[in-house]
């Protein structure tokens, strides 16, 4: 109940005329003059509107009651509208925040630029390092590349049950023997081809064209590690005749026996290399010795 009364009073106050500039002071004078005039004429003075509160089913409502003479009074009204927003100038705090954000943005852009430059520099350094490693690898391969040589030639002793088998340079011998292919380099060598023949030369010097030119040797797929070696065999296609065996045994210079051929291999860089070998048999020493001819005896 107290709350409803308070609400009625507030509504009555808000409906009271609000004095404006230059007019608010005239209402008291006019009201006093009106009361005097009413007293002289014998009319009842106008009674201001009274507020009463009624209660219905929809809730309390406010009603106003006034004398019909109060409707003759034209009370001024005031319409209040929201003023247009006025821009507020920035203070030092706003400018400080804005400057801080700008500084952070500039620092962030600078950091991104530095990061991109660093990545590009790292990429260049990585490429340079890879090039140096590649050059170093090639240098190592070139300096420590495989070196294939043929060595330790000798005749094999052939045996048979119940009969004598010719060996070496005896009549009917195929001059069968073996030698070793070794790798004296520092890296692996892949053996691809081996060719070896036994050649009888009647002249004083070897021919300018190697007798095995155009021949194809046996295909190989062997990897020779540094310091390792493999055996390989040789023999004549036709056995020695009596005349050939005699001339060789007598150490006549009119006939010489050579074991010659080539070894084709590939290094780790994929470079194909060839080693040529040629050994002459010396009957007086019973051994094979390399010839002094770079066209027949050389190592690539």
* pLDDT for the residue numbered 85: 77
The CA radius of gyration of the chain, in Å to the nearest whole number, is: 63
How does residue 263 score in pLDDT terms, banded at 50, 70 and 90?
Answer: very high
Distances (CA, A) of 182 to 177, 186, 242, 287: 17, 12, 35, 19
Least confidently predicted of 10-14, 196-200, 273-277? 10-14
Listed residue (245, 266, 267, 269) closest to 257, CA to CA: 245
Please answer whether residues 144 and 185 qualify as being in contact, where contact means their C-beta atoms are separated by less than 8 angstroms.
yes
164-185 pLDDT, tens digit per residue, is 667 888 889 899 999 999 999 8
Residue 19 has pLDDT above 80, yes or no: no
How does residue 7 score in pLDDT terms, banded at 50, 70 and 90?
Answer: low
Least confidently predicted of 22-31, 234-243, 280-289? 22-31
Residue 163 has pLDDT above 80, yes or no: no
Residue 142 has pLDDT above 80, yes or no: no
DSSP 128: H
Give strand pairing partners of 154. Answer: 178
Compute the distance between CA of residue 200 and CA of residue 220 in angstroms, rounded to an integer: 27
* pLDDT for the residue numbered 95: 85
* pLDDT for the residue numbered 213: 92
Residue 284 has pLDDT above 90, yes or no: no
108-138 pLDDT, tens digit per residue, is 888 898 899 999 989 888 988 888 888 877 7
Please answer whether residues 220 and 148 qualify as being in contact, where contact means their C-beta atoms are separated by less than 8 angstroms.
no
Residue 62 has pLDDT above 50, yes or no: no
Mean pLDDT calculated for residue range 199-220: 88
DSSP output for 230-299: EEEEE--SSPPPHHHHHHHHTT-TT-EEEEEEEEEEE-TT--EEEEEEEEEEETTTTEEEE-S-TTTSEE
Compute the distance between CA of residue 290 and CA of residue 149 in angstroms, rounded to an integer: 12
225-261 pLDDT, tens digit per residue, is 999 999 999 999 899 999 888 888 876 677 889 999 9
49-59 pLDDT, tens digit per residue, is 444 444 444 54
């Amino acid at each position: 109940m107290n709350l409803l009364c308070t609400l009625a009073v507030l509504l009555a106050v808000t409906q009271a005329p609000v004095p404006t500039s230059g007019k608010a002071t005239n209402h008291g004078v006019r009201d006093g003059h009106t009361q005097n005039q009413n007293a002289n004429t014998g009319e009842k003075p106008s009674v201001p509107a009274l507020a009463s509160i009624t209660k219905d089913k929809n809730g309390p409502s406010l009603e106003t009651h006034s004398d019909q003479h109060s409707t003759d009074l034209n009370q001024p009204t005031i319409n209040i509208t929201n003023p247009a927003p006025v821009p507020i100038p920035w203070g030092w705090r706003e400018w400080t925040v804005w400057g801080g954000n700008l500084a952070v943005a500039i620092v962030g852009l600078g950091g991104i630029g530095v990061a991109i430059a660093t990545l590009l520099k790292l990429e260049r350094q990585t490429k340079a390092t890879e090039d140096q490693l590649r050059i170093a690898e090639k240098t190592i391969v070139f300096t420590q590349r495989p070196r294939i040589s043929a060595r330790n030639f000798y005749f094999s002793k052939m045996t048979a049950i119940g009969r004598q088998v010719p060996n070496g340079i005896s009549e009917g011998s195929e001059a069968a023997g073996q030698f070793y292919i070794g790798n004296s380099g520092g890296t692996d060598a892949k053996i691809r081809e081996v060719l070896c023949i036994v050649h009888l030369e009647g002249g004083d010097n070897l021919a300018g064209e190697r007798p095995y030119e155009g021949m194809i040797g046996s295909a190989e797929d062997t990897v020779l590690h540094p310091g390792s070696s493999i055996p390989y065999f040789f023999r004549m296609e036709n056995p020695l005749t009596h005349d050939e065996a005699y001339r060789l045994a007598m150490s006549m210079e009119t006939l010489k026996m050579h074991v010659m051929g080539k070894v084709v291999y590939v290094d780790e860089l994929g470079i194909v290399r060839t080693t040529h070998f040629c050994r002459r048999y010396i009957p007086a020493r019973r051994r094979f010795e390399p010839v002094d001819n770079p066209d027949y005896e050389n190592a690539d």
